[in-house]
Structure 1
């Protein structure tokens, strides 16, 4: 058989996801390109690797054999690459990361500082929602992921680093702006703009208010921190936001932080990977870099639980 590494990578991704589109996204290819390469792989293998039943597709017995071989070959190649890199003095190779969406406010800056000292490292950063990050973690698609609220249904290793302070954000003209020690019961009747159910910020806020004996009725649910910030700036209501995400808006006076009595939500960002996984050399170096940054900051606007 005349198989190419690209075909093996494509087949492994499609077989793992059971989804052509997700595999294409992971490998930065079009779905058509993936389909063409897999047809060629089947021709070279001389066997049908997929079968379609209704709108779903499954691996054939030959497909299962091919998948096992692909996983073994690609794992051996990755181990070889890491071993060769470890023999050299230069830190080099890929750094594969997935992060939850609000990590975009600080991870690119930290990644840039790390790359400045290790020019041969090639970063591969995916920013997506928490559910997708958990999927990628479960599928072991990255060296590690960065998130706030860690999943409880997976066997994982975690390394907490930067703090994530959550605050109550308001328009500067809001009646409560500037009021000291606002009672939690007073803000309960405000219009609340919240993230979707399941997000780390939403969960942390709901749990905190429940602990205060205060029930919050969401006024609007929005799917991103940026959308919520714009809605607060427009005067539509209050929200709980990561302080890290508000630096620009606070500096220009578009948003203010309310002084709510007893409201102290400080979470942690975590680097997370599957238990038993051996982190590549580059990933270990970046993890050490993150820990070093965290050690130099007692607290800061660089964290969030998404």
Structure 2
């Protein structure tokens, strides 16, 4: 291994991540033959094959899996060393890798914006995805921090709540129940719903509440996007239950309104999490502290943002 170069290890790590010579070459800004050559030289140094091809796909061998873990540890420690040196010099700089579930996109960019103004030397890698893909990223240790609404109990996470996340019933402003007060939850039994995809944190919270009150509502449409759901509501395809944060972009001319239904809002929290065995970098610690201190400035948008009925 002493004969292996850092460049070869970086090429291998990138190749292992993408499972593609072409995509690895594109990320590293080198040619595909160079990627192939570096992998061959590293394989010769190791003395065991690092990849095996089955059909058109490349898979890591056992030796490849072990080397990938070693590479991640090496590059992680080197990156953290660079950040600590920058911190000792009085300048915070480095890379922050953050993954958040889709609904968090309504407030995380604003928090990141003010954070980057305070620490202009920090570069951000932000992945916005669903709960399933977040868990896959956790298993691969691809990020520093995660923002979730429902942290998994079996992922070995260190979690801290930092912001309220209320779920509200949203309907078109011309809905018959719009403007009424204290609507019984049983009235929702006759409504047609637009829901997030099965497995989403929002959908699970809704199903739990409905089960407690014996409701079995009709789901006309399943969509994986909050914006698509809002457009569907405005198009009178049904009503939905979404995080109140999704209303940040709405205004007085909005075609939507919040229904005043008993047992709503469903009160939940946003959590920031990281793998409990992970050594956070200087930059990740700085953002974690910033998030916990400043999150109160990014509270839930008031219902008054919506048009009056």
TM bracket, shorter-chain basis: 0.7 to 0.9
**Would the alpha carbon gap of residues 65 and 34 (structure 1) be closer, same or farther in structure 2, given more than 3 Å must change?**
farther
User: Paired residue for 1:79?
Assistant: 80
Unaligned runs of 5+ in 1: none
Alignment of 1:254-265 (within 5 A): 254-265=255-266
Q: How far apart are residue 13 of structure 1 and its match?
A: 4.3
Tell me how far apart the structure 2 counterparts of residues 34 and 69 of structure 1 sit (CA, whole Å). Answer: 25
Q: How far apart are residue 292 of structure 1 and its match?
A: 1.2
RMSD of aligned Cα (Å): 2.8
User: Paired residue for 1:108?
Assistant: 109
User: Paired residue for 2:307?
Assistant: none
Q: Is the 8 A contact 2:171 2:239 kept in 1?
A: yes
User: Paired residue for 1:223?
Assistant: 224
Q: Is the 8 A contact 2:43 2:50 kept in 1?
A: no
Task: Give SS of 1:279's match.
Answer: coil
Q: Is the 8 A contact 1:3 1:44 kept in 2?
A: no
When normalised by structure 2's length, the TM-score is 0.86
Larger relative contact order, structure 1 or 2 (CA cutoff 8 Å, min sep 6): 1
C-alpha distance after superposition, 1:128-186 (max 9, x if no partner): 22211111122211111111111122111001101111110000111111111111111
Tell me how far apart the structure 2 counterparts of residues 102 and 21 of structure 1 sit (CA, whole Å). Answer: 31
User: Paired residue for 1:197?
Assistant: 198
User: Paired residue for 2:155?
Assistant: 154
When normalised by structure 1's length, the TM-score is 0.86
**Would the alpha carbon gap of residues 69 and 181 (structure 1) be closer, same or farther in structure 2, given more than 3 Å must change?**
closer
Pair 1:170-2:171 in alignment:
yes
User: Paired residue for 1:211?
Assistant: 212
**Would the alpha carbon gap of residues 292 and 190 (structure 1) be closer, same or farther in structure 2, given more than 3 Å must change?**
same
Shifted more, 105-114 versus 63-72: the winner is 63-72
**Would the alpha carbon gap of residues 67 and 270 (structure 1) be closer, same or farther in structure 2, given more than 3 Å must change?**
same
Tell me how far apart the structure 2 counterparts of residues 227 and 36 of structure 1 sit (CA, whole Å). Answer: 43
C-alpha distance after superposition, 1:175-210 (max 9, x if no partner): 111111111111111110000010011011111111
Alignment of 1:264-303 (within 5 A): 264-295=265-296, 299-301=299-301
Q: How far apart are residue 107 of structure 1 and its match?
A: 0.5
**Would the alpha carbon gap of residues 28 and 41 (structure 1) be closer, same or farther in structure 2, given more than 3 Å must change?**
closer
Unaligned runs of 5+ in 2: 303-309
Q: How far apart are residue 70 of structure 1 and its match?
A: 2.4
Tell me how far apart the structure 2 counterparts of residues 150 and 62 of structure 1 sit (CA, whole Å). Answer: 32
Pair 1:45-2:46 in alignment:
no
Q: How far apart are residue 59 of structure 1 and its match?
A: 3.1
Q: Is the 8 A contact 2:80 2:282 kept in 1?
A: no
Shifted more, 187-196 versus 248-257: the winner is 248-257
**Would the alpha carbon gap of residues 277 and 228 (structure 1) be closer, same or farther in structure 2, given more than 3 Å must change?**
same
**Would the alpha carbon gap of residues 162 and 42 (structure 1) be closer, same or farther in structure 2, given more than 3 Å must change?**
same
